[in-house]
């Protein structure tokens, strides 16, 4: 009984793997290359500095940032002819306090000229409910809610004199994957067809994104820290997610 | 017992065909009257060594902040892994939690965990107890550091997973090898429904069973004695605990809790999410006369459930047939 289960499992995964290969072959040549993405953190045009600098939100309210981290996952590249490739197991935790984390490298990417990049800001539905994970998704990273299991997609903490919370704290933990408070958001950027992302076996192109942390608090709805200074999922998280989906990431340039 | 577990590890480090005759091989067995489980060890291969490690961790008090509380402190086998006599859980520094410790068995069939269903995968359940300041008040990183530096854990992880590196995933998977294996499906009720060993109900139990099917089983559904839904059975006009709404944020979920299983109910008191009732008599009297018109009261309980003294006695007789003595006394699940 058990043995036959394993056999079926192995058999299925063989079929699965081989069918994956075929699909990829259809859209790309079989050579692979790599590229990297750099996330440069800013607040309204100036470099983000944790704890020290005072910034202003869209309502002209002062605030400081002490923590800024977020997930980028399910990176997908498309070509001008409309074909695309989803990079498997692409889960990254970008953390302002860890400079290594702000430069990610994607390996085994089918070579080609890509004119569009898409990714999920956060973690897809399935992985929120999957069992124990490792790597970027390891609960050790402090981005997993244990009482309402699922990942915190974007975390920003800090303070504002206007905040009514203890110590004037700002606590924005954005996550949740079920309606009406689903906060999974996708981001996509078209790449200038004159300078596409050229993935080659022998080169290492780099994409450079500007990430504006102030965008959590503006874009669709301007957030006032006097009334909104704490969220851990729920309707306020949705407001913030709609904001950052709109303007937090901007593709600045590509070095091919 | 010590001998058995040594034998277990010994056998595992060698070869499965060399198992000693007294050796019990850990298996996950689905009782004939149960459906297919949701957790089936597909991504967490069940082994004797993995189970033995999970069990050891479950009873390891040194994992908690003040080294006084293990999972087994709040989940006691003689109470079907609920917490005897504790209304609400009792963690480190004598901290009182807000909810009653549920029993632990047949977890592999659940889709949500905790009274409010906040945790969705059995593998991630321990993170909550580990981190709760009112439970073990520590964090997974401290636990990993402790395990890395405390023999025989590094060896046990190697035997269980072939891994030299102890990480959170392996810790959580080994907990699940213990908790998901806990199956209770051999009560008198099960033997009667499977027509095993000529088991039959007494007339009193049979009368109770019929009453139960008529009045209780729409929520406490066979064979788990819960349909795993979230409902209010009218304990309070206004619930102080948000219940399911804490997770969903939905108004109509306010004050609703997962319908609890009634298996082993004889030993899992006190009852309800806050442990307010100490006896089954109090529970039955609640349904008979105490149901409050709570905001989200389940419509089935709009008029309570009228139960005469005889009917209450019969239902109780039936509920006691849900006790699975083999499970409660199975030494494989005990601290070694």
% of chain B beyond a pLDDT of 90 = 81
Can you tell me whether residue B149 is helix, strand or coil? coil
Q: Which two tokens stand for residue A89?
A: 């197991």
Cα A213 to Cα A44: distance, rounded to the nearest angstrom? 8
Q: Which of B274, B230, B264 is nearest to B99 (CA)?
A: B274
Can you tell me whether residue A123 is helix, strand or coil? coil
Residues of A in contact with B253 (CB under 8 A): none
Give residue B156's pLDDT: 97
Q: Which two tokens stand for residue A235?
A: 């309707």
- Where is B253: in which H helix or E strand? none
Cα A213 to Cα A194: distance, rounded to the nearest angstrom? 29
Give residue B232's pLDDT: 98
A132·B246 Cβ contact <8 A: no
Instruction: Give yes or no for residue B170 having a pLDDT over 70.
Output: yes
Give residue B278's pLDDT: 96
Mean pLDDT of all residues belonging to chain B? 91
- Nearest chain A residue to B249, by CA: A234
Q: Looking at residue A157, what DSSP letter applies?
A: E
Q: Which two tokens stand for residue B51?
A: 């189970």
Write down all domains in chain B, each with its CATH number in brackets.
4-184 (1.10.760.10), 188-320 (1.10.760.10)
Instruction: Give yes or no for residue A14 having a pLDDT over 60.
Output: no
Give residue B138's pLDDT: 83
**Neighbour-count burial of A82, counting CB atoms closer than 10 A to its CB (0-12 exposed, 13-18 middle, 19+ buried):** exposed
- Whose structure tokens read 């459906």? B35
Nearest CB among A146, A233, A235 relative to B127 is that of A146
Give long-range contacts, CB 8 A cutoff, 24+ apart: B196-200. Answer: none
Residues of B in contact with A139 (CB under 8 A): 124, 127, 140, 168
B122·A131 Cβ contact <8 A: yes
Mean pLDDT of all residues belonging to chain A? 90
- Where is B164: in which H helix or E strand? none
Task: State pLDDT tens for residues B209-243.
Answer: 999 999 999 999 999 999 999 999 999 999 999 99
Give residue B72's pLDDT: 96
DSSP A21-89: HHHHHHHS-S-EEEEEEEEEEEETTEE--TTT--EE-TT--EEEEEEEEEEEEEEEEEETTS-EEEPTT
Chain B nearest CA to A232, separation (Å): 11
CA dihedral B312, B313, B314, B317 (to 10 degrees): 120
Mutate to test the interface with A, among B247, B251, B253 (most CBs of A within 10 A): B247
Cα B92 to Cα B129: distance, rounded to the nearest angstrom? 11
Domain ranges in chain A are: 28-255
Instruction: Give yes or no for residue B176 having a pLDDT over 60.
Output: yes
Average the pLDDT over B242-270 and give the result: 95
ipTM value: 0.84
Q: Give me Rg for the CA atoms of chain A.
A: 20
Can you tell me whether residue A135 is helix, strand or coil? helix
Between A161 and B163, where is the model more confident? A161
Q: Are B208 and B316 in contact (CB under 8 A)?
A: yes
Please, how many CA atoms are within 13 Å of residue B137, restricted to the half-sphere of its CB? 16
Selected residues 160-189 of chain A with any CB under 8 Å from a CB in chain B: 178, 180-181
Give residue A183's pLDDT: 97
Quick one: pLDDT band at residue B19, thresholds 50, 70, 90?
A: very low
B124·A9 Cβ contact <8 A: no
Instruction: Give yes or no for residue A168 having a pLDDT over 50.
Output: yes
Mutate to test the interface with B, among A8, A125, A131 (most CBs of B within 10 A): A131
Quick one: pLDDT band at residue A29, thresholds 50, 70, 90?
A: low
Instruction: Give yes or no for residue B3 having a pLDDT over 50.
Output: no
Task: State pLDDT tens for residues A173-209.
Answer: 999 999 889 999 999 999 999 999 999 999 999 999 9
Residues of A in contact with B119 (CB under 8 A): 146-149
Task: State pLDDT tens for residues A202-235.
Answer: 999 999 999 999 999 999 999 999 999 999 999 9
Nearest CB among A138, A149, A233 relative to B119 is that of A149
- CA separation (Å) from B215 to B306, B315, B335? 9, 10, 39
Residues of B in contact with A1 (CB under 8 A): none
Chain A nearest CA to B124, separation (Å): 6
Give residue A246's pLDDT: 94
For residue A113, the cross-strand partners are A198
Chain A nearest CA to B137, separation (Å): 13
A134·B168 Cβ contact <8 A: yes
B169·A133 Cβ contact <8 A: yes
Cα B79 to Cα B291: distance, rounded to the nearest angstrom? 27
Task: State pLDDT tens for residues B56-91.
Answer: 999 999 999 889 899 999 999 999 999 988 887 777
A131·B168 Cβ contact <8 A: no
Residues of A in contact with B173 (CB under 8 A): 131-132
Quick one: pLDDT band at residue B163, thresholds 50, 70, 90?
A: confident
Mutate to test the interface with B, among A146, A179, A238 (most CBs of B within 10 A): A146
Instruction: Give yes or no for residue B184 having a pLDDT over 70.
Output: yes
Residues of A in contact with B176 (CB under 8 A): 131-132
Between B27 and A19, where is the model more confident? B27
B169·A233 Cβ contact <8 A: no
pTM of the entire predicted model? 0.88
Instruction: Give yes or no for residue B336 having a pLDDT over 50.
Output: yes
Cα A25 to Cα A5: distance, rounded to the nearest angstrom? 30
Give residue B16's pLDDT: 37
Q: Which two tokens stand for residue A236?
A: 């306020």
Residues of B in contact with A130 (CB under 8 A): 121
- Where is A248: in which H helix or E strand? none
B169·A146 Cβ contact <8 A: no
CB pairs under 8 A between A and B: 69
Give residue B22's pLDDT: 55
């Amino acid at each position: 009984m058990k043995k036959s289960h394993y056999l079926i499992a192995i058999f299925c995964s063989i079929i699965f793997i081989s069918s994956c290969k075929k699909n990829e072959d259809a859209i790309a040549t079989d050579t692979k290359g790599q590229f990297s993405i750099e996330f440069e953190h800013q607040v309204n045009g100036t470099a983000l500095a944790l704890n020290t600098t005072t910034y202003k939100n869209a309502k002209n309210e002062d605030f400081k940032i002490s923590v800024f981290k977020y997930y980028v996952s399910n990176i997908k590249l498309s070509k001008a002819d409309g074909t695309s490739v989803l990079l498997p197991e692409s889960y990254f935790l970008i953390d302002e306090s860890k400079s290594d984390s702000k430069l990610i490298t994607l390996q085994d990417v089918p070579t080609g000229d890509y004119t569009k990049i898409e990714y999920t800001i956060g973690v897809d539905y399935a992985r929120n409910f999957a069992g124990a994970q490792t790597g970027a998704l390891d609960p050790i990273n402090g981005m997993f809610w244990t009482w309402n299991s699922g990942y915190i997609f974007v975390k920003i903490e800090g303070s504002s004199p206007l905040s009514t919370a203890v110590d004037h704290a700002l606590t924005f933990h954005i996550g949740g994957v079920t309606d009406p408070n689903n906060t999974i958001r996708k981001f996509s950027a078209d790449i200038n067809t004159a300078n596409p992302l050229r993935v080659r076996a022998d080169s290492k192109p780099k994409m450079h994104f500007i990430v504006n942390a102030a965008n959590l608090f503006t874009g669709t709805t301007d957030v006032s820290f006097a009334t909104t200074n704490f969220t851990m999922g729920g309707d306020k998280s949705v407001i913030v997610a709609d904001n950052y989906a709109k303007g937090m990431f901007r593709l600045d340039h590509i070095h091919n | 017992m010590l001998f058995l577990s040594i034998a277990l590890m010994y056998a595992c480090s060698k070869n499965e065909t060399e198992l000693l005759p007294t050796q019990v091989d850990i298996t996950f067995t689905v009782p004939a009257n149960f459906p297919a489980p949701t957790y089936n060890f597909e991504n967490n291969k069940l082994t004797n060594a993995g189970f033995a490690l999970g069990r050891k961790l479950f009873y390891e008090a040194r994992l908690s902040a003040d080294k006084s509380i293990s999972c087994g402190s709040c989940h006691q086998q003689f109470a079907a892994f609920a917490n005897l006599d504790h209304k609400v859980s009792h963690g480190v520094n004598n901290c009182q939690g807000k909810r009653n410790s549920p029993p632990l068995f047949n977890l592999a069939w659940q889709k949500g965990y905790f009274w409010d269903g906040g945790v969705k995968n059995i593998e991630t359940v321990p993170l909550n107890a580990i981190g709760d300041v009112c439970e073990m008040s520590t964090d997974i990183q401290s636990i990993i550091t402790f395990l890395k530096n405390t023999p025989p854990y590094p060896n046990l992880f190697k035997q269980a997973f072939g891994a030299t590196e102890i990480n959170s995933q392996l810790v959580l998977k080994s907990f699940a090898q213990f908790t998901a294996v806990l199956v209770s499906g051999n009560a008198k009720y099960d033997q009667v429904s499977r027509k095993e060993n000529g088991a039959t109900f007494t007339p009193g139990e049979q009368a109770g069973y019929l009453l139960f099917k008529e009045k209780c089983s729409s929520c406490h559904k066979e064979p788990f004695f819960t349909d795993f839904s979230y409902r209010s059975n009218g304990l309070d006009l206004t619930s102080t605990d948000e219940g399911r709404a804490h997770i969903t944020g939905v108004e109509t979920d306010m004050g609703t809790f997962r319908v609890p299983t009634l298996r082993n109910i004889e030993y899992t008191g006190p009852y309800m999410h806050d442990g307010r009732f100490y006896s089954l008599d109090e529970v039955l009297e609640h349904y008979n006369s105490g149901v409050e018109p709570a905001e989200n009261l389940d419509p089935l309980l709009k008029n309570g459930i009228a139960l005469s003294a005889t009917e209450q006695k019969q239902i109780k007789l039936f509920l006691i047939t849900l006790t699975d003595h083999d499970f409660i006394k199975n030494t494989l699940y005990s601290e070694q």
